[in-house]
């Protein structure tokens, strides 16, 4: 796959994020205003200073009017984008490439979702099935197939593997417990997670990310202009998106132990950023842990662990907050929550805090102080066999 990327052409100069929670007392407008105000204030700009806006939302509006109304924008181009659970990352990617192209000097990407009081249970899928040909399995059911497939392929005792993925959830809950913006702020033991009622297959309630309301915002400009807005911008090193063609659903050889779209997006992002050893070059990674087995497979598809070894590395604590490569130091989807349109930008918000040493002391990853200056964010949408995958890399240093 040919991809020239936008390495160091674009910077993020301001970010904001609401708490992710059950915001029964707040609407879409409230969330958009809060996240965007934080981002614009951080960059020292007003709404009128932005040349263009991108709004990412899956279910909370059908056009850019949603954002224009909330922020009372006048005469501004506002584009609404959607790419399943990778919607927030899609908004950032669009804004960044618009700036890199020279079309705009200053652009803003905003992601939002408000679903907790929608009247639906969980996330409502579009299009709504009407003719009996659409998939009837839930997302939890689809991702639950990863566990038995992984156990069989790599010879791991299924009961042992069940506890390994529960440890992933426990790790993320421990991180989220330290985060005042996270939806779930309580530590959970492996035993407690394993004892939860079953949802699908071996997955219990706390193997699944929480559905939440929330918003997040990023302000981007050309690298040459970053000094106008902040002394410590994040330079965009890579933005990669891969959309699968759904062939995994009909391929009898598809075994659920790898997500090809993610491996392809990661390889492309590493080429763009010049990363050859991600586990040792990255300071942290924010990944799309919609279900605990997803994070397990991601460690291999993103090149952090060798094939068949992620379960061992997770058990050793390599991806803990104090491990070799902290993964989801803000709690991830599992603990922070998952408002579909905002999650990708929320991940970038954590990279923003961590790389600029603004995370709370009890959550600040040590690798940043040890000289690592890169962070990865990974966002996916869809299911095993038919998936879209985004991988972004940002850093604090301007490259050659």
Distance of alpha carbon 333 from alpha carbon 172, whole angstroms: 9
Contact 345, 56 (CB under 8 A): yes
337 to 258, 294, 381: CA distances (angstroms): 24, 15, 15
DSSP-derived secondary structure for 377-396:
EEEEEEETTEEEEEEEEEES
Hey, CA dihedral for 224, 357, 289, 335, is it positive or negative?
Answer: negative
Annotated catalytic residue, options 85, 194, 221, 314: 85
Whether the CB-CB separation of 398 and 234 falls below 8 Å is answered with: no
Beta bridge partners of 106: 221
List the one residue out of 389, 398, 177, 400 whose CA is nearest residue 302: 389
Question: Is 23 a residue of the active site?
Answer: no
The Cα–Cα gap between 213 and 342 comes to 9
Active-site residue, from 23, 173, 338, 378: 338
Active site residue 173: no
CB atoms within 10 A of CB 200: 18
Query: Which of 276, 272, 115 shows the shortest CA–CA distance to 209?
Result: 115
> Is there a contact between 28 and 70 (Cβ–Cβ < 8 Å)?
yes
DSSP 196: S
Six token digits for residue 258: 């790898």
* CA–CA separation, 347 and 330 (whole Å): 8
Contact, 184 vs 210, CB < 8 A? yes
- Do the Cβ atoms of 340 and 125 come closer than 8 Å? no
CA-to-CA separations, 226 to 48, 110, 290, in angstroms, rounded: 18, 19, 34
Element (H, E) at 260: helix 260-273
Query: Which residues are catalytic, by number?
Result: 85, 338
């Amino acid at each position: 796959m040919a991809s020239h990327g936008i390495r160091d052409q674009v910077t993020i100069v301001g970010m904001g994020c609401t708490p992710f929670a059950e915001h029964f007392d707040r609407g879409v407008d409230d969330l958009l205003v809060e996240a965007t105000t934080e981002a614009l204030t951080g960059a020292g700009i007003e709404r009128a200073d932005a040349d263009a806006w991108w709004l990412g939302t899956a279910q909370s509006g059908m056009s850019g009017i949603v954002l224009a109304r909330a922020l009372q924008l006048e005469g501004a181009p506002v584009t609404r984008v959607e790419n399943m659970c990778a919607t927030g990352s899609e908004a950032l990617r669009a804004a960044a490439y618009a700036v890199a192209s020279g079309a705009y000097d200053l652009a803003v990407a905003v992601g939002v979702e408000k679903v907790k009081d929608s009247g639906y249970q969980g996330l409502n899928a579009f299009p709504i099935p009407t003719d009996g040909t659409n998939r009837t399995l839930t997302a939890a059911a689809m991702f639950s197939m990863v566990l038995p497939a992984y156990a069989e392929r790599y010879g791991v005792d299924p009961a042992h593997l069940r506890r390994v993925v529960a440890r992933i959830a426990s790790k993320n809950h421990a991180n989220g417990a330290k985060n005042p913006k996270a939806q779930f702020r309580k530590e959970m033991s492996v035993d407690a997670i394993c004892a939860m009622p079953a949802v699908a297959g071996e997955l219990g309630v706390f193997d699944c990310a929480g559905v939440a309301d929330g918003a997040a915002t990023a302000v981007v400009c050309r690298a040459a202009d970053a000094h106008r807005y902040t002394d410590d911008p994040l330079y965009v090193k890579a933005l990669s998106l891969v959309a699968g063609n759904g062939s995994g659903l009909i391929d009898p050889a598809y075994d659920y132990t790898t997500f090809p779209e993610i491996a392809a997006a990661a390889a492309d992002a590493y080429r763009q950023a010049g990363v050859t050893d991600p586990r040792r070059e990255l300071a942290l990674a924010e990944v799309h842990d919609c279900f605990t087995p997803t994070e397990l497979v991601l460690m291999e598809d993103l090149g952090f662990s060798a094939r068949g070894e992620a379960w061992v590395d997770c058990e050793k604590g390599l991806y803990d907050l104090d491990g070799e490569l902290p993964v989801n130091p803000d709690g991830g989807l599992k603990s922070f929550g998952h408002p579909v349109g905002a999650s990708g930008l929320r991940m970038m918000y954590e990279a923003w805090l961590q790389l600029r040493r603004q995370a709370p002391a009890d959550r600040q990853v040590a690798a940043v102080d040890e000289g690592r200056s890169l962070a990865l964010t990974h966002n996916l949408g869809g299911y095993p066999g038919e998936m879209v995958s985004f991988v972004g890399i940002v850093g604090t240093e301007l490259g050659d």
